[in-house]
């Protein structure tokens, strides 16, 4: 990470809570220590770690981005899965099998890139778009935060987010009305203005890649699984219409 002068500086967010043992998790009783409050020009590069809990169990996801390009890494059933979103391409890589999937993104998804600060952690913008309202002001350590909520025919979303710009999500709870499932996402280790290698968002050459145009992939998916590789970020492939 490069040293920063005036304007945006590195923000160090440490979230200490009472979540799962051995994992850094957010809880309303946690402590957040922030150094160098961000001001001025918004950063171009980001990283965060997400702890996801739901019916699938527990999943830890690391995200990196530069502009609209994203790289995400997680572990699913013992398979290290990397997703790369770069320009008009959506790439999924399984490091265990050496197989990969490369799909052209939809025009709707690409059109949404310019509206987002980063390609992950944009729950606040989605909640505002869908008619969310603030229900509580709060303090987490020394940091001002807010709780927002939206309820609709699909369920309920509740968001803990920093009160100052840029709105950094801390926790998201989603209730799915159809399945009665609750999914919790806790964000930690936020960092920005990182220096990436030139090929960080490139597709590695050692993978056996199957490529699709978008319409071909959708058509094949309607006939059955187009690929065993998971599409974890459907909004970055298909777009995210209002609820």
pLDDT tens across 72-117, in order?
A: 999 999 999 999 999 999 999 999 999 999 999 999 999 999 989 9
Q: Could you tell me which residue, 7 or 59, shows the higher pLDDT? A: 59
**195 pLDDT more than 50:** yes
Q: How far is it, in rounded angstroms, from Cα 239 to Cα 243? A: 12
Cα 130–Cα 215–Cα 63 angle in degrees, nearest 5: 55
Tracing tokens 């597709």 back to the chain, one arrives at 203
Q: How far is it, in rounded angstroms, from Cα 239 to Cα 142? A: 37
Query: What is the sign of the dihedral through the CA atoms of 4, 193, 202 and 100?
Result: positive
**43 pLDDT more than 80:** yes
Mean pLDDT (the chain, rounded): 85
The pLDDT assigned to 72 comes to 98
Contact 235, 243 (CB under 8 A): no
Model pTM?
0.83
Contact 96, 89 (CB under 8 A): no
Q: Could you tell me which residue, 242 or 62, shows the higher pLDDT? A: 62
The pLDDT assigned to 42 comes to 85
The pLDDT assigned to 40 comes to 65
Q: What residue ranges do the domains of the chain occupy?
A: 14-238
Lowest-pLDDT range of 2-6, 151-155, 168-172, 174-178: 2-6
Which CATH superfamily is 14-238 part of?
A: Lipoprotein localisation LolA/LolB/LppX (2.50.20.10)
Work out the end-to-end distance of the chain between its first and last CA atoms, rounded to an integer number of angstroms: 38
- Who contacts 43 (Cβ-Cβ below 8 Å, separation ≥6)? 8, 192, 193
Contact 159, 149 (CB under 8 A): yes
Judged by DSSP in three states, 229 sits in coil
**pLDDT confidence of 142, banded at 50, 70, 90?**
confident
Contact 84, 203 (CB under 8 A): yes
Contact 142, 34 (CB under 8 A): yes
Q: How far is it, in rounded angstroms, from Cα 147 to Cα 41? A: 25
Torsion of CA 238, 240, 241, 243, to 10 degrees: 130
Average pLDDT over residues 68-73: 98
């Amino acid at each position: 990470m490069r040293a920063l002068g005036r304007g945006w500086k590195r923000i160090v967010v440490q979230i200490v809570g009472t979540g799962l043992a051995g994992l850094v998790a957010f809880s309303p009783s946690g402590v957040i220590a922030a150094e160098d409050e961000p001001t001025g020009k918004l950063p171009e590069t980001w990283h965060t770690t997400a702890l996801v809990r739901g019916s699938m169990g527990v999943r830890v996801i690391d995200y990196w981005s530069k502009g609209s390009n994203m790289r995400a890494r997680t572990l699913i059933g013992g398979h290290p899965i990397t997703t790369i979103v770069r320009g008009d391409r959506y790439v999924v890589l399984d490091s265990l099998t050496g197989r990969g999937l490369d799909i052209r993104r939809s025009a709707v998804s690409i059109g949404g890139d310019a509206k987002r600060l980063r390609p992950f952690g944009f729950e606040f913008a989605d909640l505002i778009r869908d008619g969310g309202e603030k229900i509580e002001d709060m303090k987490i350590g020394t940091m001002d935060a807010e709780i927002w909520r939206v309820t609709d025919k699909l369920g309920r979303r509740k968001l803990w987010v920093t009160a100052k710009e840029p709105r950094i999500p801390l926790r998201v709870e989603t209730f799915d009305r159809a399945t009665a499932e609750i999914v919790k996402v806790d964000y930690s280790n936020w960092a920005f203005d990182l220096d990436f290698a030139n090929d960080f968002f490139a597709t590695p050459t050692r993978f056996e890649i199957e490529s699709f145009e978008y319409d071909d992939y959708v058509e094949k998916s309607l006939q059955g699984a187009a690929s065993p590789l998971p599409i974890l970020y459907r909004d970055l492939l298909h777009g995210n219409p209002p609820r």
